[in-house]
Amino acid sequence: MHYDAIANAHGLAHDPFKALVGPRPIGWITSVSADGVCNLAPYSFFNAVSDRPHYVMFSSSGKKDSLRNIHETGEFTCSMATWDTRFAMNVSSAPVAPDVDEYQVAGLTAVASRFVKPPRVREAPAALECTHWKTIELPDVEAGSDQGHFVVFGRVVGIYIDDAYVHDGRVDTGAMRPIARLGYMQYAAVTPETVFDIDRPSIARNGSVVRS
């Protein structure tokens, strides 16, 4: 199949778009409202977008509590969702009222961050502490849709890593078992067995590409 994506003429029972852009990392976003209520929710329209300096983004489909809190208080954290926390992560996506703390609903522990006010998930092996840079509202909202999409950019100002996962100066991501979103209700898990190395290619004197 090969179809017009503007018309979204896929002809399938379900839109395949998200199944084609995956696995997507999950930013498990903690924010705090102006009146101090903590909020936790997973976002899979999430990624790192630069490494010097470190920036991340996530995209909110409509104006959700995380977006509102970040606009109010200017900070958030992104904890790593893992195989061990997959069910709690899912529970934290429940559409509860803004004054409900998802940490309690999901049975998770909020631990203080070092550089920003929003806490991070203690059960997560890594977390990024961020300050809000800017939000971009995407244009061309689909006819009939009342929700825009808001891409939130944050500068990473603090990084937590559980030292148990640092070996020989490198983070053992596979051992953390991060999970990622595919399409529909599907997820994928990174495990030590699925991680592999490929060295960057180099250029030989004769100009040919030397593969590793």
Q: What residues make contact with ligand FMN under the rule CB under 6 A?
A: 26, 39, 41-45, 59-61, 64-66, 90, 93, 95, 181
Residue among 7 and 97 whose Cβ is closer to ligand FMN: 97
Q: Report the nearest approach of ligand FMN to the CB of residue 202 (Å).
A: 38
Residue among 186 and 194 whose Cβ is closer to ligand FMN: 186
Q: Report the nearest approach of ligand FMN to the CB of residue 209 (Å).
A: 37
Residue among 59 and 113 whose Cβ is closer to ligand FMN: 59
Q: CA 100 to CA 78: how far, in whole Å?
A: 19
Residue among 72 and 172 whose Cβ is closer to ligand FMN: 72
Q: Report the nearest approach of ligand FMN to the CB of residue 204 (Å).
A: 43
Residue among 21 and 164 whose Cβ is closer to ligand FMN: 21
Q: Report the nearest approach of ligand FMN to the CB of residue 179 (Å).
A: 8
Q: Report the nearest approach of ligand FMN to the CB of residue 98 (Å).
A: 7
Q: How many CB atoms lie within 10 A of CB 166?
A: 11
Question: What is the DSSP code string of the chain?
Answer: ----TTTT---SSS--HHHHS-PEE-EEEEEE-TT--EEEEEESSEEEEEETTEEEEEEEESS-HHHHHHHHH-EEEEEEPBGGGHHHHHHTTS---TTS-HHHHHT--EE--SSSSS-EETTSSEEEEEEEEEEEE-S-PPTT----EEEEEEEEEEEEE-GGGEETTEE-HHHH-BEEE-STT-EEE--GGG----PPPEE-TTS-EE--
